[in-house]
């Protein structure tokens, strides 16, 4: 075990500030834990999959989603609220010519409400630093290779803004229902590190 106790010190400080806020009546007892539990309970990759499937079957929704994602996701009963403030959601769509990948180079900002808790590799410094410099290599390492002519755009999330990718709809899925289409979409596809 390392001698670095930075996280322990930070945790102690957070607990101290939380206790002060509770004593002063700003927060109720255990309120922060309850809010975090509620927020995480509602977050699932199935939410993002529903959004992608709706965009595939409804061109009007897709257009609204790419223009004002926060407003559009309300149409399917979802929101980016849940924390202390609502975050701005930007949705980008993969095309035959462009593939999008999401990262947070500073930490691991991520749309938990739509994709569930972030995977460990997303939080790793290796992914966060390398995907910006060598996205094609990172995607290759994660199991798929894009054609050389495909442009790759990397979107950097922040505390205020989150990103989600609408993957390309797979060929031969014209007869599938919206629900069946949603079943094809993975969290990696919504981050842009896999195709559907």
Q: Which of 2, 8, 11, 108 is catalytic?
A: 108
Instruction: Please indicate whether residue 124 is annotated as part of the active site.
Output: no
DSSP-derived letter for residue 100 is E
Which candidate, 7, 11, 75, 20, places its Cα nearest to that of 47? 75
Beta bridge partners of 163: 90
138 phi and psi angles, rounded to 5 deg: -65, -45
Instruction: Please indicate whether residue 2 is annotated as part of the active site.
Output: no
Instruction: Please indicate whether residue 44 is annotated as part of the active site.
Output: no
DSSP-derived letter for residue 79 is -
CB 183 within 8 A of CB 49: yes
- Residue 45: partners with Cβ closer than 8 Å, 6 or more residues away: 114, 115, 116, 185, 186, 187, 190
Rounded Cα–Cα distance for residues 107 and 31 (Å):
25
Q: Which of 44, 79, 109, 129 is catalytic?
A: 109
Instruction: Please indicate whether residue 11 is annotated as part of the active site.
Output: no
Rounded Cα–Cα distance for residues 123 and 118 (Å):
7
Q: Which of 2, 8, 79, 104 is catalytic?
A: 104
DSSP-derived letter for residue 177 is -
DSSP-derived letter for residue 110 is -
Q: Which of 11, 107, 124, 129 is catalytic?
A: 107
Residues noted as catalytic: 104, 107-109
């Amino acid at each position: 075990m390392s001698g670095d106790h930075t996280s322990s010190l930070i945790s102690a400080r957070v607990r101290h500030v939380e206790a002060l806020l509770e004593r002063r009546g700003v927060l109720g007892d255990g309120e922060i834990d309850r809010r975090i539990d509620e927020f995480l309970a509602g977050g699932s990759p199935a939410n993002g999959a529903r959004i992608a499937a709706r965009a595939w079957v409804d061109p009007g929704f897709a257009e609204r989603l790419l223009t004002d994602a926060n407003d559009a996701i309300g149409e399917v009963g979802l929101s980016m609220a849940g924390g202390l403030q609502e975050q701005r959601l930007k949705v980008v769509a993969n095309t035959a010519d462009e593939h999008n990948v999401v990262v947070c180079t500073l930490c691991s900002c991520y749309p938990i409400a739509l994709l569930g808790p972030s995977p460990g590799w997303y939080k790793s410094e290796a992914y966060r630093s390398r995907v910006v410099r060598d996205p094609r290599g990172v995607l290759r390492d994660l199991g798929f290779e894009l054609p050389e002519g495909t442009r790759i755009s990397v979107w950097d999330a922040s505390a205020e803004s989150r990103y989600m990718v609408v993957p390309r709809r797979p060929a031969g899925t014209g007869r599938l229902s919206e629900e069946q289409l949603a079943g094809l979409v993975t969290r990696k596809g919504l981050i842009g590190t896999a195709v559907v």
